[in-house]
Chains A and B, each alone.
Chain A
Amino acid sequence: MILDYIGVKEINGSLIVLDGVQGASFEEIVDIRLDDGSMRQGRIVQMEGERIVVQVFEGARGISLDNTRTRLRGRPMELPLSPEILGRVFSGAGKPIDGLGPIFPEQRRNVNGTPINPVSRVYPRNYINTGISTIDTLMTLIRGQKLPIFSGSGMSHNELAVQIARQAKITDEGGENNFCIVFAAMGVSNDVAEYFRRSFDESGVLQKVVMFLNLSNDPIIERILTPKCALTAAEYLAFERDMHVLVIMTDMTSYAEALREFSSSKGEIPGRKGFPGYLYSDLASLYERAGMVRGKKGSVTQIPILTMPNDDVTHPVPDLTGYITEGQIVLDRGLDSSGVYPPVSVLPSLSRLMKDGIGKGSTREDHSALQNQLFAAYAKVMDARSLASVIGEEELSPVDKQYMEFGKLFESQFVSQGPNENRSIEESLNLGWKLLATLPRAELDRVDDEILDKYYAPYAEKAPQQAGEAG
């Protein structure tokens, strides 16, 4: 027997309260039919006896106390899935919006997912070549990793994400054919969504992309569902269809703000900056869905993009994200405005998984030493610059002057590259050594002599400014 419950008890923001409901289960999906014939969906978020609180995905606009009929679906939220989802466009709640009709599901999966058992995880070790020097050399992306881009409004994070998506190459098993992209847009403008679509189209990968779009004027409840749907699709493609999936999610800050709006309408006690106390757990439930599992060939790699309000890295969203993800790529406003693309701020950027994915056998034996030395040298550049801003560049010691020079070259040649420039790992590593060769050998205290002889010495001989400085 299917029961319709007529009317609601209370309306608050996008939440409606029903009373006298029997047999409902927690987080079950309900269909709400308005008297004008339109249909909406909602999810039970709180229950007390026969009183249930329902979150309406499309918002409560137009709902009055007695113009609705609500029906329980008897199931939590599920996403219909089949290999045909590739190349399709969905709304944040997982409904097709490209006019190509519904999906004929091969299976349905609960969008909340279930946590991967830590013992079933495979520790990620295979690197993804992105063709971008800074990322490949200094913060290598690993298959199964979650590596966010911390950016700010107006910076070129979208271009960077597109470039990664376009150039990303999996180095072994000739992975080309089973590589695909799941793209989730949360609260981004129509232009941005269109930019991604067009870029995927131009580079000919559109048939390998699944898009979930929740634009900035779409309902916020759907925004909360968008990454869940996207990751459910990604898990399906990775663990049922053996594909290597790259998930790009933008913008996580909008997602967190939607969560805050929803939380405050539920009357929950706010934590820092008004965000709910469970923001960490909630973000973790998304980010932790990246990874590889034993016995499955596929992988889920995440590149979430978030804009830091006021470029503040201590804002709760970037802060908590940084604690969950395995590193971060931080973009820098100063570099961006001086025309460096991609404006990767090298020092605070990091990849936690790179140490096991690089070196002999995957990239090159000198990779680890080189990246270590580049970080250390660039940190000294920063020291020299702050000193120069006080005493003037002229007064710097000769070594500090060399560092200033190195810093300029590093930013203009190594960090900076064209949006279509695809550098091989060899090129990037050699470029790193070429730049280090402008520094005296005694300054390279992170590298042992054997590596220095093999990689530093050939370039140092060619570098003229080197002579006589090393004492």
Chain B
Amino acid sequence: MQNQDVIYGINGPVVTVRNSHSFSMTEMVYVGNERLVGEIIGITDALTTIQVYEETTGLRPGEPVTGTGSPMNVTLGPGILDNIFDGIERPLKAIAEESGSSFISRGSNVPALDKERLWDVTVTVKAGDTLRGGDIYAECPETAIIRHKCMVPPGLSGTVEKAAPDGQYRVDDEVVVLRDEKGGLHPLTLCQTWPIRIPRPVKGRRQPVIPLITGQRVIDTLFPIAKGGAAAIPGGFGTGKTMTQHQLAKWCDADIIIYVGCGERGNEMSQVLDEFSELMDPKSGRPMTDRTVLIANTSNMPVAAREASIYTGITLAEYYRDMGYHVAMMADSTSRWAEALREISGRLEEMPAEEGFPAYLPSRLAEFYERAGFADTLNGKEGSISIIGAVSPQGSDFSEPVTQNTKRFTRCFWALDKSLAYARHYPAINWTASYSEYFTNLSAWYEKNVGPDFANYRKQINNLLQEENQLMEIVKLIGSDVLPDDQKLVIETARVIRVGFLQQNAFHPEDTFVPLEKQMLMMKVILHLYHKAKQLVAAAVPISGILATGLFDKLVKMKYDIPNNKPEMFDEYIREIDTALSGVVHA
């Protein structure tokens, strides 16, 4: 029998029930005659508190509240990819089709996955096999590039009593029956459910040693993120958080992208939908949507569902990780999620901590970011989840609680800078305020797979930028004319690095994604010019002569002039530098 009770009080998205002993904490409930989805978030002797994931306008005290007996969960199965969900995994496309309206109505009960669609299933087990939690029993091509693997839900094990033949099945069709040790029979379909607030278990976790390659020079070279790592992108409005997230979602070398638009703009989501369906994945030649799941809870959709959207996203990510995929999850923006926490907390009249945020903000953030990682899955595969969380600090002030607490739990920090953005230097990642703790873990991989000098070049580039930073302090006071030539050379070289290397044009077909090899060669050529010029300056050749060769300006444009697939052109550049500079000496 289902637990049932009636509404007592309503305050925005918070609904209360009086004198009820029917519900348990975090249980999912249906509220009112329209059966709005809600979750139990507080129980006292006198009052049970529910946060409702939909608009509460029109609810009346006395309407029923029905328990489901299980916590907030999501349905996991084929059909998740190439789909767009709201914060509690309701399929927005299907809702639009069913309602025939451009607006989101309430109380919709469209199932998360298409129940009618047939999948070409290969059953990989036979009667008598022993299976444990996480083991794969069936596979099907979910999209042209991703094979979906159906896994025994964690915690369940037994022998296969019956296995269906290969063929076409719907998500709810039974394909395997499992008999556990006690003799209980468990039918397994193509899908399963999992509570969103509980991490899916893994066998063990590993040190992340492989980079998530993004094709963005400032990230891959200076501040790399590992597969299984977590990064934060804080920045005020207009600094390009969303743009950076989009670039990463398009180009990073993860198998699956989960993009959570959490409290952000509706037009941005339609842009992602548009762009990703037109954009082809360079490896497979298929639309990007084939490997992407979108979770859209725009800023005007109910605030409680915004709070849940982050958990929904990470649970989907864990499910694909368990199949042995590398998943990258973009959360844009975690500040909106934190604000949803604050809003709900305020409605519950909890004692606020910093800036009105609840005291449990750090622990919630930690719980979320700890779900990233490189793992050995229960079925013996390797998979990873990398989280890239955007943070929108109020007033661009990085000392506010969400940025500060996020910094504690992520090892990669890409600080976006307003003044860079104003000068339209994109990506506006500030090279002095950002850091990545992953590079030490990853340097072995870079040496082996890109080139033995990579770490060395990176260090030199970094030093030049730091040196320029110090020199600029002087330049700001007295102008650059009075600097000695060797310092002028540093400033000139740093300009090439900033404009020619760090700045990257997302709208330029060659420059939007740059392979690691080209990144390294670009560094090599810049440093070659620097060292050669330095020798000349040391030999008292005036710097004006060196600059007059136009080499510096040529290097600024090499990102456009050298196609990604012609690394041999860099040798020509080096030869040209040598001839041009020897010309300066003899002149």
Give A314 to B396 CA distance when docked, in angstroms.
Answer: 7
- By a CB distance below 8 angstroms, the chain A residues around B480 are 397
B587 within 8 A of A: no
Question: Which of A280, A289, A379, A397 is B422 in contact with, Cβ under 8 Å?
Answer: A379
Contact B237 A121 (CB under 8 A): no
Contact B58 A289 (CB under 8 A): no
Pick out which of these stretches binds chain A: B90-98, B181-189, B284-292, B437-445: B90-98
- By a CB distance below 8 angstroms, the chain A residues around B548 are 471
A115 within 8 A of B: yes
In the complex with contacts A272-B355, A348-B422, A49-B9 CB distance below 8 A: yes
A350 within 8 A of B: yes
- By a CB distance below 8 angstroms, the chain A residues around B356 are 269-272, 277
Q: Which of B11, B16, B84, B101 has the most CB of A within 10 A?
A: B11
Contact A117 B103 (CB under 8 A): yes
- By a CB distance below 8 angstroms, the chain B residues around A386 are 476
In the complex with contacts A272-B394, A376-B423, A123-B270 CB distance below 8 A: yes
Contact B263 A118 (CB under 8 A): no
Contact B476 A390 (CB under 8 A): yes
Pick out which of these stretches binds chain A: B248-256, B457-465, B553-561: B553-561
A291 within 8 A of B: yes
B278 → A minimal CB distance (Å): 11
Pick out which of these stretches binds chain A: B127-135, B221-229, B295-303: B295-303
Give A319 to B425 CA distance when docked, in angstroms.
Answer: 22
Contact A289 B477 (CB under 8 A): no
B241 → A minimal CB distance (Å): 10
In the complex with contacts A118-B92, A288-B265, A445-B557, A49-B61 CB distance below 8 A: yes
Question: Which of B102, B355, B392 is A117 in contact with, Cβ under 8 Å?
Answer: B102
Provide the A270-290 mask, 1 if CB < 8 A to any CB of B, else 0.
111000111011001101110
B434 within 8 A of A: no
Chain A residue at smallest Cβ distance from B95: A117
Give A112 to B169 CA distance when docked, in angstroms.
Answer: 43
- By a CB distance below 8 angstroms, the chain A residues around B394 are 272, 314, 316, 319-320
- By a CB distance below 8 angstroms, the chain B residues around A116 are 102-104, 266
In the complex with contacts A277-B343, A375-B422, A288-B300 CB distance below 8 A: yes
Provide the B5-19 mask, 1 if CB < 8 A to any CB of A, else 0.
000111110001010
Give A353 to B56 CA distance when docked, in angstroms.
Answer: 33
A364 → B minimal CB distance (Å): 16
Pick out which of these stretches binds chain B: A9-17, A60-68, A324-332, A430-438: A324-332
In the complex with contacts A121-B269, A144-B267, A76-B300 CB distance below 8 A: no
Q: Which of A245-280 contact B (CB under 8 A)?
A: 268-272, 276-278, 280
Tell me how many residues of B have a C-beta within 8 Å of chain A: 78
A158 within 8 A of B: no
A98 within 8 A of B: no
- By a CB distance below 8 angstroms, the chain B residues around A76 are 57-58
Q: Which of B280-332 contact A (CB under 8 A)?
A: 296, 298-301, 303
Provide the B367-400 mask, 1 if CB < 8 A to any CB of A, else 0.
0000000000000000000000000101111000
Contact B92 A322 (CB under 8 A): no
Contact A277 B346 (CB under 8 A): yes
Give A409 to B300 CA distance when docked, in angstroms.
Answer: 43
Contact B102 A239 (CB under 8 A): yes
Question: Which of A314, A316, A319, A445 is B556 in contact with, Cβ under 8 Å?
Answer: A445
Question: Which of B10, B299, B479 is A387 in contact with, Cβ under 8 Å?
Answer: B479
In the complex with contacts A288-B299, A375-B422, A124-B267 CB distance below 8 A: yes
In the complex with contacts A277-B343, A281-B343, A119-B96 CB distance below 8 A: yes
B339 within 8 A of A: yes
- By a CB distance below 8 angstroms, the chain B residues around A270 are 356
- By a CB distance below 8 angstroms, the chain B residues around A372 are 424
- By a CB distance below 8 angstroms, the chain A residues around B12 are 278
B273 within 8 A of A: yes
B117 within 8 A of A: no
A295 within 8 A of B: yes
Q: Which of B274, B349, B394, B475 has the most CB of A within 10 A?
A: B394
A108 within 8 A of B: no
Chain B residue at smallest Cβ distance from A397: B481
Question: Which of B237, B342, B423 is A271 in contact with, Cβ under 8 Å?
Answer: B342
Give A115 to B271 CA distance when docked, in angstroms.
Answer: 17
- By a CB distance below 8 angstroms, the chain A residues around B10 are 26, 46-47
A462 within 8 A of B: no
Chain A residue at smallest Cβ distance from B103: A114
A296 within 8 A of B: yes
Contact A121 B553 (CB under 8 A): no
Give A25 to B418 CA distance when docked, in angstroms.
Answer: 47
Contact B346 A446 (CB under 8 A): no
Contact B61 A375 (CB under 8 A): no
A112 → B minimal CB distance (Å): 6
- By a CB distance below 8 angstroms, the chain B residues around A276 are 346
A299 → B minimal CB distance (Å): 12
- By a CB distance below 8 angstroms, the chain B residues around A463 are none
B54 → A minimal CB distance (Å): 10
Q: Which of A72-126 contact B (CB under 8 A)?
A: 76, 110, 112-124
List 30 A-B pairs, Cβ < 8 Å: A23-B60, A26-B57, A47-B10, A115-B104, A116-B103, A117-B104, A121-B270, A122-B270, A269-B356, A271-B346, A271-B355, A272-B355, A272-B394, A277-B339, A278-B346, A280-B336, A281-B299, A288-B298, A288-B299, A294-B102, A313-B395, A314-B395, A315-B395, A319-B395, A322-B237, A322-B238, A375-B422, A379-B424, A386-B476, A387-B479
Query: Measuring CB to CB, which residues of chain B are less than 8 angstroms from any residue of chain A?
Result: 8-12, 16, 18, 55-61, 84, 92-93, 95-96, 101-105, 236-238, 261, 263, 265-267, 269-271, 273-274, 296, 298-301, 303, 336, 339-340, 342-343, 346, 349, 352, 355-356, 392, 394-397, 418, 422-425, 475-481, 499, 507, 548, 550, 553, 556-557, 560
11 more contacts with CB within 8 A, not counting A120-B96, A314-B397, are: A112-B57, A271-B346, A280-B336, A285-B300, A287-B300, A316-B394, A323-B237, A375-B422, A376-B424, A380-B423, A395-B479
